[in-house]
Structure 1
């Protein structure tokens, strides 16, 4: 059961105003590297998991375990094609299961609800940074959720063009010697645009969590097959969308970017993620 946090209408607890997208994107387009101003994305996930009393957690793209190790819950599943664990991923958990395999194979072969003992409460998707892969991870995860579950996606708000190539080797080469050396977001920002167009029923919330944004999705519908049914057509459509900062700016210009503090207080948590 996910705990509900009740709102209290006091001036001290009213939500902060959204960060205007122009404040985030304009300096980048002008060639001035910037950083997002909220709390670190792992901190946001850790606090939100605690606030919501998350029992069942899924993470795709565990790698070293930096985020996975910070989530307290009863049961947790981690997926990665090549684990490089350097953290205690069992910390704060009663039951941990790790699957070293590609996420497509994982969703095909593993009974996730059986392993977790019910639908996912919180999922964090941080796998391969190409939009078609994240899109599959999203709709495969949604069918294992309840309507009020949360799906979080990472790297959807790039803050420089050197991190945006679809190839990690290109990103590493282009970012060498820059302020964002080693950063790679690929083109997964397109998934947010896809959800806005093809799944307007979803509640999509974008946060200024450094280093490269955090997007939460709720009001989920496990029975909605739109994304899987039209997958090939959607991928063809968005593959043709230029993967540029200008395209990112045009899209996020229509979507508020919230400060991370907006969902970490009792008032706003109930406002945005009422459980």
Structure 2
């Protein structure tokens, strides 16, 4: 077996040194240099991770998600994309929680109030009486973290909002791309957020009635969507048109304006808690 050295490693090691010396901008540029290589190496992954840490120096999305659960104390919760169940484990035991994933790999035993459905979210919403699974109550809090493709996340949002109330909150992961490679529709690196950023642009354009904010939480942002309207059918009725429009939108549209276009919000818990306390208000 021939060992092929990683082309990303030298630039990554120099980025690591510059970060240790406090040269954050230089470290970020060296990470970008390392990521110019199509490389599934450990150095390539770590360069992506460092770039995310430099972009978002505060708490990671998992910690922010846990804080939101504790602050809102939702009676009901729906999570799309369970995988090993890390984020499902932080749900309060009193919360009636439903998880959906075609191939869940749950590591811990579920509590009495938790159920996981091993199926696609499309199938789940089409064939299940979700309201019944939640004891007849609306969804208080939802987390979309499924397949990293725009059109799937859009359908998940449409289906979830119908089951919410104006006071509900929908969270969406992977909405703030770190670079073009990790934001591509076709996976080309271990670190991959896909093109969910397109959903933020969609909601801003077609649903200006919503409150849309993206918390600057690593690794790839956490959107908080509020002021929901379960009666709205704008996205559903124009779904094909919207999908065609935004799949044709290149990521370069974010160049120089990413924070503005994606409604970046500071990752400070005091500010986040005030934000989510405005839910249900115009």
Q: Calculate the TM-score normalised by the size of structure 2.
A: 0.76
Question: Is 1:44 aligned to residue 51 of structure 2?
Answer: no
Paired residue for 1:116?
134
Closer, same or farther: CA 268–243 of 1 in aligned 2, 3 Å: closer
**1:223 corresponding residue in structure 2:** 231
Between the aligned partners of 2:274 and 2:123, the Cα distance in structure 1 is 40
Residue aligning to 1:162 = 181
Instruction: Report how many aligned residue pairs link the two structures.
Output: 235
Shift of 1:40: 1.3
User: CA-to-partner distance for each residue in 1:57-111, whole Å, 9 max, x for gaps?
Assistant: 100000110111112142100000111222x263xx5411111111100000111
- Aligned counterpart, 1:242: 250
Tell me the equivalent position of 1:260.
267
Contact 1:262 1:268 in 2 (8 A): no
Match of 1:83 among 104, 121, 124: 104
Could you list the runs of 5+ residues in structure 2 that have no partner in the other structure?
A: 1-23, 34-50
- Structure 1 position 54, deviation (Å): 0.9
Structure 2 equivalent of residue 178 of structure 1: none
Comparing 235-244 and 219-228, the one that deviates more: 235-244
Stretches of structure 1 lacking an aligned partner (at least 5 in a row)? 1-22, 173-181
Which residue matches 2:7? none
Query: What's the CA shift string for 1:162-215, capped at 9, x where partnerless?
Result: 2112123xx22xxxxxxxxx2111111000000000000001111011111000
Q: 2:11 matched to which residue of 1?
A: none
Q: Deviations over 1:143-168 (max 9, x none)?
A: 01001100000000011222112123
- Displaced runs of 4 or more, over 4 A: 262-269
Shift of the 226–257 alpha-carbon distance from structure 1 to 2, 3 Å rule, reads same
Largest Rg, 1 or 2: 2
The higher relative CO (CA closer than 8 Å, separation ≥ 6) is in 1
C-alpha RMSD of the superposition: 2.5
Q: Distance in 1 between matches of 2:148 and 2:218?
A: 17
Aligned residue in 1 for 2:82: 62
Is contact 1:38-1:259 (8 Å) kept?
A: no
CA displacement at 1:248 relative to structure 2 = 5.8
How far did 1:55 drift? Answer: 1.2
